[in-house]
A and B are shown apart, each in its own frame.
Chain A
Amino acid sequence: MLSRIAESLFWIGRYVERADNTARLLDVHLNVLLEDPWVDEPSANASLLSVMNCEYEAPVSRRDVLATLAFDPERSSSIAWTLGAARENARRAREVISTEVWESLNTTRNQLPRWTASARPHEYFVWVRERAAVVWGLHSATTSRDDAWHFMELGRSLERADMIARLLMTRHFEGTTGPNWTTLLRSCSAHEAYLRTVRALVTEERAAEFLLVDRLFPRSIAYNLQKAEDTLGLIEGASNSRALSDRARLALGRARTNLEYRDVRDVLDDLPGQMREVQSACGAASDLIRDRYFLPASTVLWSQEAL
């Protein structure tokens, strides 16, 4: 697979997943603003923007948050921009991805202006999640499990681990007590799965454990880190230069085992710190993947000698 194409696929995976999770995150946030009677809205908004690594000017209104993270197609943090970027990458990799996936991404982009003009954020978020599901469903039904599949899955699982970590940070926002664990589980579509697995009422430790390290649930952090590691192994296959990809797996494995082998109480006591660790591990792995697969090994374009 061409390096340039692989990079586009990796980013399609990341962008679509990011749009989906940003929609979930914003839904939770708006919910908190509604339900918490003692909320200090500007501080909570500011916390959200800083978790998403966006610049802001205090005081931050609800409008600012929605513009920055949901609607403004000019800002790279927004869902609108992300979906547009996913479509542009799909256009670059058009001959590799299936027609169905391309059309679903293209239609999504074409419908965006209609949605961003409407004033009801919740409906927009539902639509975004639905579109992401359409893309993933078609992707899964129409793509051979070759490198094209692996690179998109790699981007997707990295992004998901990263975004769940950001979502859990909402527990520790300034100016609010944050969402309760049931809300968090629901926003990860994990509530029913949790009830079936744990068979008990939602407690802090068990809910956290479920979202952090459950081995079977596809939206737990450890599950996605593990999946990214496995995918890297599949991409590498029998290839001989493994150093860089192994370093990416190392970073992911360390972050995963750190969660798995630590007492959940410890993690909860330092939740923002621990979640930051997960995010930086994902970032580091992403950089290493870029160095290994997407950048040319040498910058030489033309040489007379055999290399």
Chain B
Amino acid sequence: MTADQQTPWTGYQPVQAWDEAMDLEGRVRDPYRRVYHEIDRMSGEDLYSRAEALASTYLAQGVTFDHAGEERPFPLDIVPRVVGAEEWDIISPGVAQRVRTLEAFLADVYGSQHCVNDGIVPRRLIATSQYFYREAAGIDPANGVRVHVSGIDLVRDQHGIWRVLEDNVRVPSGVSYVLSNRRAMSQMFPDMFGAMGVRPVLEYSQRLRAALTRCAPNDIDDPTIVVLTPGVFNSAYYEHSLLARTMGVELVEGRDLETHNGRVYMRTTAGRRRVDVIYRRVDDDYLDPVVFRPDSALGAPGIVHAARLGNVTIANAVGNGVADDKLIYTYMPDLTRYYLGEEPILPNVDTWRLEEPEAREEVMDRLAELVVKPVDGAGGKGVLIGPKASREELDQVRAQILEDPRGWIGQPVIQLSTVPTLTDDGLEPRHVDLRPFAVNDGDDVWVLPGGLTRVALARGQLIVNSSQGGGSKDTWVLGGERQRGRKTPPPESRVELSGIGAVPQAAHPDDIEHGQQQQQQQQQGEPTC
């Protein structure tokens, strides 16, 4: 190859953030070597046509999300994000540790509140959390699990260190995109995929089903599990139906459920059927109009009461929101030491609690260079990035913070790591985060090898949420078995195959004998002279 030949990599230049594929001198990092060479061999057009093919398969499969009332194919970038095996060896135990801490904290908060009495977390903090529900106190989950599924958002800072940005233990979403991204990408790059030894993600649904089975009340062997969805117009409906389908359970809406005498039933064509485990994808507020919002049409009246009686398990548990409050987040390292007696494996992002006067003063002075977030926001709502904000926006947020300091936290601007991403101008570095999913079955926290990589599609954009125009990437965690490592198969396998012998495939006898017949028929047709 000559030096002046154009490849898709020509002009790819990492900026100040940590680029996961290339260092600042342009050397390709180890995990990306194979991806780099595969793309290097392609022409730019080839890359774009594959990207187009990806989008059209997603449209055909209905892998879409609702944006402003319109169904759009979920944007999937053509370049996979690769995570090396040694990095995963930090992430996976780190996430599991985080989940165990969150479990311990929730059990404590809705139980005897030792962490408050021992002065680790101020009582006021819990009492003022918008998602601390007294209604959830005294509901003892069957196998002690409250965080059946969690999504721990990680980012990589400019030094390449993985940090926890956010805990999601209410109804974390996005795992369906991990599964369908993988299916699409492994079809798009079968050779590269097989040779790199990417760890599989397909077992997620089985793991989830097993975890839900184990949390059934009263040790039922073969519980009836349902997935509760707000309905077909919910932006994550695709995910709900995919999970129900791949777990082989019913997908219900609130109106399919009824509660009698503290037991939950679903309406079927053959009458009522008892429900044991509800994997709900409806927020707490809408879950049960008897306990929460009375105007909710999405929930099922009486199910919280049924859960309290121990007749049904609601997964994830009601009231988990208190643990992913962003102010509680700042206490997580302390809580890990307190409950588990371990040092946190994954550090937090440095955070100022704005209700503390000194911290507030400092942040107010430096507002233009920091990020401030509302503590209960999700999906990047309300986040203000100081260096990108206008004068008016800064003043407005400043006023909001002074009015409700409990409602805000401040963080330094983190230059999220970048990954090569196909844009209209070719491959360019774009900022990404990572949401690994963890399933807790009561004995063990299993972390899905991979997770959802969200990518901000605009240049320099730091908010990656899909509701803010972000896309996604398939996340390839290395260190699995390589399918095409060996050159030749072991000799035994050939011997065995020929030993079995083949059963002949039959065909219509006329079709096999037809040569002769055809000849005769043709002769018949010939004129006799």
Contact = CB atoms under 8 A, between A and B. Distances in A.
Interface in B259-303: 259-262, 266-271, 290, 300-302
A3 B273 CA distance: 11
Interface string B220-233: 00000000000010
Max chain B Cβ within 10 angstroms of own Cβ: one of A106, A235, A294: A106
Contacts of B62: 91, 94, 102-103, 106
A239 B271 CA distance: 9
Contacts of A91: 62, 232, 237, 241
Contact of A300 (B253, B258, B268): B258
Contact of A95 (B59, B245, B260, B271): B245
Max chain B Cβ within 10 angstroms of own Cβ: one of A2, A91, A303: A2
A4 B253 contact: yes
B301 A301 contact: yes
Nearest to B57: A103
Nearest to A94: B241
A99 B60 CA distance: 11
A200 interface: no
Contacts of A95: 241-242, 244-245, 250-251
A119 interface: no
Contacts of A2: 250, 252, 256, 266-269
B256 A303 contact: no
Contacts of A99: 61
A1 B252 CA distance: 11
Contacts of A107: 60
A94 B64 CA distance: 13
Nearest to B259: A302
A296 interface: yes
A305 interface: yes
A306 to B, nearest CB: 4
For chain B, which range describes its interface: under 10, 10 to 19, 20 to 34, or 35 or more residues? 20 to 34
Contact of A3 (B260, B268, B302): B268
A12 interface: no
Contacts of A88: 232
Contacts of B34: none
Interface in A1-38: 1-6
B255 interface: yes
Contacts of B251: 94-95
Contacts of A302: 258-260, 290, 300-302
A94 B245 CA distance: 8
A56 B295 CA distance: 41
A304 interface: yes
A75 B324 CA distance: 47
A147 interface: yes
Contacts of A1: 268-270
A95 B227 CA distance: 11
B514 to A, nearest CB: 25
B250 A103 contact: no
A254 interface: no
A297 B272 CA distance: 10
Contact of B269 (A6, A92, A110): A6
Contact of B61 (A103, A235, A307): A103
Given A95-B250, A147-B269, A293-B269, A110 B60 contact: yes
A300 B260 CA distance: 9
Nearest to A295: B267
A239 B270 contact: yes
B260 A305 contact: yes
Contacts of A3: 256, 267-269
Nearest to A4: B256
A71 to B, nearest CB: 22
A68 B252 CA distance: 35
A147 B256 CA distance: 17
Contacts of B244: 95
Nearest to A87: B62
Contacts of A147: 269
Given A2-B250, A293-B269, A301-B301, A106 B60 contact: yes
B261 A306 contact: yes
B287 to A, nearest CB: 13
A303 B260 contact: yes
Contact of A103 (B60, B258, B259): B60
A294 B245 CA distance: 22
A88 B244 CA distance: 18
Interface string A32-57: 00000000000000000000000000
Contacts of A296: 258, 267
A95 B238 CA distance: 10
Contacts of B232: 88, 91-92
Interface in B185-240: 232, 237
A189 B232 CA distance: 37
Given A2-B252, A103-B62, A307-B260, 4 more contacts: A3-B269, A293-B269, A301-B259, A306-B260
A294 B267 CA distance: 9
Contacts of B256: 2-4
A51 to B, nearest CB: 33
Contacts of B300: 301-302
Nearest to A106: B62
A296 B290 CA distance: 21
Contacts of B60: 103, 106-107, 110
A235 B259 contact: no
Contacts of A239: 270-271
Interface in B119-139: none
Nearest to A147: B269
Nearest to B241: A94
A134 to B, nearest CB: 13
A304 B261 contact: yes
Max chain B Cβ within 10 angstroms of own Cβ: one of A151, A294, A302: A302
Nearest to B273: A2
Contacts of B269: 1-3, 6, 147, 151, 235, 293-294
20 contacts: A2-B269, A3-B267, A3-B268, A3-B269, A4-B267, A5-B250, A92-B232, A94-B62, A95-B241, A95-B242, A99-B61, A103-B62, A107-B60, A147-B269, A235-B269, A301-B257, A301-B300, A302-B259, A303-B259, A305-B260
Nearest to A292: B269
A106 B61 contact: yes
Nearest to A105: B62
Contacts of A304: 261-262
Nearest to A305: B261
Contacts of B61: 99, 103, 106
Contacts of B302: 301-302
Interface string B4-22: 0000000000000000000
Contacts of B255: 4
Interface in A69-121: 88, 91-92, 94-95, 99, 102-103, 106-107, 110
Nearest to B266: A2
A91 B262 CA distance: 32
Max chain A Cβ within 10 angstroms of own Cβ: one of B252, B256, B259, B269: B269
B247 to A, nearest CB: 9
Of all A-B residue pairs in the complex, the 7 with the closest CB atoms, nearest first, are: A302-B301, A94-B241, A95-B245, A302-B302, A95-B244, A306-B261, A293-B269
Max chain A Cβ within 10 angstroms of own Cβ: one of B251, B290, B302: B251
A294 B251 CA distance: 16
A301 B250 contact: no
Interface string B390-413: 000000000000000000000000
